[in-house]
Amino acid sequence: MRFSKLLKYNTLWGVLGLGLLAAPVARAQRPAALRGTVADSLSGQPLAGVRVALLGQPGGTATDALGQFRLVGLAAGTYRVQLGALGYRLKTSEITLAAGETRGLTTTLASTSLNLAEVTVSQPRDPNQTLAAISHIDQTLRPINSAQDLLRLVPGLFIAQHAGGGKAEQIFVRGFDADHGTDFAVSIDGLPVNMVSHAHGQGYADFHFVIPETVEQLRVYKGPYTARFGDFATAGAGEFTTKTSLDHSQVKLEVGRFDTRRALVLLDLLGTHHLFSKRPESAYVAAEYNFTNSYFDAPQHFKRFNGLFKYTGQLTERTSLTLLGSHFTSNWDASGQIPDRAVTEGLISRFGSLDPSEGGSTNRTNASVVLTTALPHDAVLRQQAYYSRYNFSLFSDFTFFKNDPVNGDEINQTDHRNLYGYTATYDRDNHLGARNLHTVVGLGTRIDASDLGLRHAAQRRILDTVNTGRLYEQDINAYLDETLELTERLTVNAAVRADLFIFQFQGQKADAAAGFVPLAGRVVRGRVSPKLNFYYQLSPAVQLFMRSGLGFHSNDARGVVQGTGSFNALPRAVGAEVGSTFKPVPSLVVNAALWTLHLQDELVYSGDEGTTESTGPTRRYGVDVSARYQLTGRLFLDADVNYSHGRLVDAPAGEDYIPLAPTFTSIGGLTLKNPNGLSASLRYRHIDSRAAQEDNAIRARGYFLLDAVVNYTRPRFQLGATAENLLNVAWNEAQFATNSRLRGEASSVNELNFTPGTPFFIKVNASVFF
């Protein structure tokens, strides 16, 4: 008995002794963590998306919207932490971590000249940005002189203008004639640019309210693979962001052919002063004025004014605020599109007009507030509320005297709109076992309330009404987006998005027999869009991807509420692609993708006729290749080559062409880039001839153009010149197969109608920095 008690007593003390001995070992094995904040060295503003890696270790992370990051589960030891972002100099710091320790690292990155050898092909925080490296190179190298140039930054995207420069461009991308934005979503600072149920066309995206010198970043997403985008993002989406701060204030003047003039002012408001807090803040205003008579026989009297105010500040260590306000107004006369026969028969010149009363006016005022807050558990909440007031009036004449041989066929489209929106995203870094898991939850709503009208006119005098009414359209949406590192090299992105649309229209339309009849109704429709994407980091220089997803574009509310058997409010898009972003040599970056896209129904509301037409389902497939090569420290070569094949699914062979769908396009150039001194760029644009109607009997003509830009830059000033169409090619910018009748003709003729592209054009500019 005594022996038993003694054994128990010794055993107890033995266990306690082993526990005491093991305690230091357990403490020594407790994991450490590293947290940090990264900011711009000049502005002090936090940098989002900075890559954070431990050299010699797998994995890594990236900074969030507040420039913060964390690395957890680290063993005690000494690490080399490398920070990198596109446009910034790589920075490496040595950190020693003790067991169980959480260290903080606050640092800055300095901007640097572009060096393709330092460009990486992975995006740890947003892997769906497969074109991130390409887009950053283009923004650094390509000359930007207008809002049109901003859209051309999207690889493979072409634009065409056919109303005097005052309205949205026609967009061509990935085998789509996306009209003015039906299948390509555009946003700026979180503000949607595309207009639903617009007077002139579904998805109308007038980007002219953006001042090009204020744009800092472009994120391009091809295909319907990203949950953040809903309506219109079938062929893809472009997210533009304006600068948070100015490197310097600037005054710029431009003068060119055809009475072209432009003035720009960028003014830093704060400098070293503070407005709301003692933390980093910035505020600036920007304004531009444009005037041109353009190259047409009839002066265009084009005028445009843009104004912008933006404030960005760190209110606290965990909260940032962005305020934005802008105003845009424009008016112009237009020469419009003309039929081939009017030129060949000598009725007008190539730059002439059959109805010089075409033209219009438009304006847009925007307000936005963004509040970004760091939450517990390494989460970030971003909330944005925005409002736009928009007005539009356009006089157009496409068929001349086909419908009304006395007064002509001029129409007037009007749109007076209030646009309200709210978005919120909850962004959090988690772990699933030992693997990093990045979660994003998004909620949002958008409301468009507009007075729409379509009327007949003659010389801008209203004759009668085709239809008018009040639009109410709302989109309520939510999405869940998860990115999981399955292995050290394989990442999966899985997401689902849900949209609920309310289409409502109250108005009337003209009827030949009954006078006016109601054009009214209310339709509620929903759409669920899953996405599944895989990314494999084959090596530091090669990333492979396989992406798939469902998307949609909404159709015009006037067509939806009148819909019969063939109507579809939210036609689905099903897309997939495989490809790679890779660097065969350190100074060459290549992105290549083989893609396919099936659209359920291309139902289109024709604002010019006030009718709804369905072209049925379509299928497209194609290949996109983009390459960027640094020949020397200052000399760069770039090229985009895009092929697509598209057909109407239900049409008979030979009558199944998709009108105006591009088949082969290419953009490229040679650029000399110096931060100080001489910079120059020689660029080309090419689009192949393509079918203008379903039976391919009429074809839109391709073209090849050369443009050039040269600048001489010093710390206090810049002088430059831009030349477009160096070879003075006679080319057609916008082209359509249109059935029109000229005055005196016995019947209408279906043939190619076009707007001529600019002849040789040159302008010079001078800037002062202060």
Summarize pLDDT for 384-415 with one digit per residue, the tens.
999 999 999 999 999 999 999 999 999 999 99
Give me the numbers of helices (H) and strands (E) for the chain, helices first please: 5, 45
> Whole-angstrom Cα distance, residue 637 to residue 628?
6
Read off the amino acid at residue 555.
Answer: N
What pairing do the DSSP bridges indicate for beta strands 236-242 and 184-188?
A: parallel
Top-level CATH class of 132-769? mainly beta
Residue 682, C-beta contacts closer than 8 angstroms, at least 6 positions apart: 669, 670, 671, 706, 707, 708
Q: What angle do CA 45, 48, 52 make, to 5 degrees?
A: 115
* 3-class state of residue 3 by DSSP: helix
Torsion of CA 76, 427, 186, 659, to 10 degrees: 90
State both tokens at 400: 């001349």
> Whole-angstrom Cα distance, residue 577 to residue 111?
34
Read off the amino acid at residue 80.
Answer: R
The DSSP call for residue 244 is S
pLDDT under 50: residue ranges of the chain: 1-28, 605, 607
* Helix (H) or strand (E) segment spanning residue 242: strand 236-242
First-to-last alpha carbon distance for the chain, in angstroms, is 96
Helix/strand/coil percent split, the chain, to 5: 10, 55, 35
Q: Where do the domains of the chain lie?
A: 28-112, 132-769
Per the rule left: phi > 0, alpha: psi between -120 and 50, beta: everything else, 122 is: beta
Residue 668, C-beta contacts closer than 8 angstroms, at least 6 positions apart: 637, 638, 639, 640, 683, 684
> Whole-angstrom Cα distance, residue 171 to residue 305?
23
State both tokens at 82: 């490398």
Nearest to 85 by CA among 53, 58, 52, 50: 50
Tokens 């092909």 belong to 121
With contact defined as beta carbons under 8 Å apart, do 441 and 480 qualify?
A: yes
With contact defined as beta carbons under 8 Å apart, do 151 and 181 qualify?
A: no
The DSSP call for residue 531 is E
> Whole-angstrom Cα distance, residue 358 to residue 335?
6
Reply yes or no on domain 28-112 having CATH 2.60.40.1120.
yes
State both tokens at 454: 């379509």
Summarize pLDDT for 119-135 with one digit per residue, the tens.
888 877 788 888 888 88
| Secondary structure of 618-635 in HEC code, one letter for each residue | EEEEEEEEEEEEECCCCE
Taking residue 715's Cβ as centre, other Cβ atoms within 10 Å add up to 9
> Whole-angstrom Cα distance, residue 256 to residue 334?
19
pLDDT at 27: 43
With contact defined as beta carbons under 8 Å apart, do 326 and 305 qualify?
A: no
What pairing do the DSSP bridges indicate for beta strands 435-458 and 411-432?
A: antiparallel
With contact defined as beta carbons under 8 Å apart, do 70 and 429 qualify?
A: yes
With contact defined as beta carbons under 8 Å apart, do 501 and 554 qualify?
A: yes
With contact defined as beta carbons under 8 Å apart, do 571 and 599 qualify?
A: yes
Q: Phi and psi for 141 in degrees, rounded to 5?
A: -100, -40
pLDDT at 14: 43
Kindly report whether the global pTM for this prediction surpasses the value 0.85.
yes
Residue 18, C-beta contacts closer than 8 angstroms, at least 6 positions apart: none
> Whole-angstrom Cα distance, residue 758 to residue 694?
28
